Amino acid sequence: MLKEVVVMIKKKYGVVGHPIGHTLSPFIHKRLMELSGIDGEYGVYDVAPDELDERFKDTLSALDGFNVTIPHKQAIIHLMNSTDETAKLYGSVNTVHITRLNDREYTSKGYTTDGIGFLSALKTAGISLQGNVTIAGCGGVGRVFANTCAKEGCKLNILETAASLEAAEKFAEELNKRFGSEIASVYETACFDGESDLFINATPVGMYPNVNNCVVGDKIIEKSKAVFDAVYNPAQTLLVSKAKGMGIKALSGMTMLVYQAAAAQTIWNGSQFDNKDIEQLAEDCYKELACR
């Protein structure tokens, strides 16, 4: 009597960005898949902006899912068959789920888990999301932060360089219309002199290898009650280091990175994780970073 043989196919995931050599995503997702008993692999895809459409069709769409990082979080949207409500609201996608219909056909759906990761990271650090929030940058992740803060009832100061003020002002208009009040104001970074309950860096400034750069001057940091830097490499950016030196509670982006990765695994595989496992993984990521 012949026995039925069940062949388990290894799931394939990855992250796409440019440049992307610094990414910890494979380390994080390997651990998350181990914790949830998923047999899978996770690759890294360095794709230049002008190659994104082609690489999506010939490579990325063959995966079971993938994460999206700078500079593709907005550019990837037009390649999706659909997006969830949060991704539509934020105008940003950082997680894509591919559903295979047959050998040749598939559907793609875009999500953003940055908001979940952001809120979870602040809660873990004991940082309240309230009052006046100042955000440097309004790109993909900056839009997520701004919408998340607005939903929590915060007032927003959006800081941009002179060259990007027009785009920032359009985004602020969208926020004010969406939330039905004048919650968002735009300032040129060099001219801002206000106080903040929370200052957020939503730009790559300070990221390795440019570790001696800080997105704002000391006066803005001094007038902030708490600081969150989305950058996670290095483990402590110049912004975070300065804030801590001033006695200000400050958090880098590593915990957010792990929480948003866990949320991606939930989308792909329905996995659930204990907060203690997530926090331990964030600590292990810092150790992994130090060895590179």
Phi/psi at 95 (nearest 5 deg)? -140, 130
Give the mean model confidence (pLDDT) for residues 15-32.
Answer: 93
Q: With contact defined as beta carbons under 8 Å apart, do 225 and 198 qualify? A: yes
Query: Parallel, antiparallel, or unpaired: how do β-strands 65-68 and 95-100 relate?
Result: antiparallel
Q: What is the pLDDT of residues 52-69, one digit of tens each?
A: 999 999 999 999 999 999
On the question of pLDDT at 124 being above 60, the answer is yes
* Token code pair at residue 289: 């970073």
pLDDT average, residue stretch 231-256 = 95
Q: Mean pLDDT across the stretch 260-287?
A: 95
**Topology alike, domains 11-112+257-290 and 115-252:** yes
For 201-224, write each residue's pLDDT tens digit: 999 999 988 999 999 999 999 999
Give the C-alpha separation, 181 to 153, whole Å: 11
Please compute the mean of the pLDDT values over residues 152-180 and round it to a whole number.
95
Residue type at position 153: G
Which alpha helices (H) appear in 180-251, and where do they start and end?
218-222, 238-245
Torsion over CA: 140, 141, 142, 144 (sign): positive
What superfamily in CATH does domain 11-112+257-290 come from? Leucine Dehydrogenase, chain A, domain 1 (3.40.50.10860)
- CATH code reported for the domain at 115-252: 3.40.50.720
Q: Say how far apart CA 91 and CA 70 lie, in whole Å.
A: 14
What residues does each domain of the chain span?
11-112+257-290, 115-252
Average pLDDT (214-243) is: 96
Average pLDDT over the chain, rounded to an integer:
93
Mean of pLDDT values over 93-118 = 94
- The angle, 0 to 180 degrees and rounded to 10, between the axes of the packed helices 165-179 and 140-151 is 30
The catalytic position among 10, 73, 88, 123 is 73
Whether 6 shows a pLDDT value over 60: the answer reads: no
Active-site annotation holds for 123: no
Three-state DSSP string of 215-266:
CCCHHHHHCECEEEECCCCCCCCHHHHHHHHCCCEEECCHHHHHHHHHHHHH
Mean pLDDT over 186-208 rounds to: 95
pLDDT tier, 290 (very low <50, low <70, confident <90, very high otherwise): confident
For residue 7, the model assigns a pLDDT of 47
Give me the pLDDT at residue 8, please. 59
Across 165-174, average pLDDT: 96
Q: Compute the 3-state secondary structure of the chain and give helix, strand, coil in percent, each to the nearest 5.
A: 40, 20, 35
Indicate whether 32 pLDDT > 60. yes
Can you name the residues that pair with 249 across neighbouring β-strands? 226
Separation CA 26–CA 17 (nearest Å): 13
pLDDT band at 166 (very low <50, low <70, confident <90, very high): very high
pLDDT of residue 53: 98
Q: Is the pLDDT of residue 1 over 60?
A: no
Percent of the chain surpassing pLDDT 90 = 84
Rounded to 5 degrees, what are φ and ψ at 147? -65, -40
pLDDT for 3? 54
Note the pLDDT tens digit of each residue in 102-113.
988 999 999 999
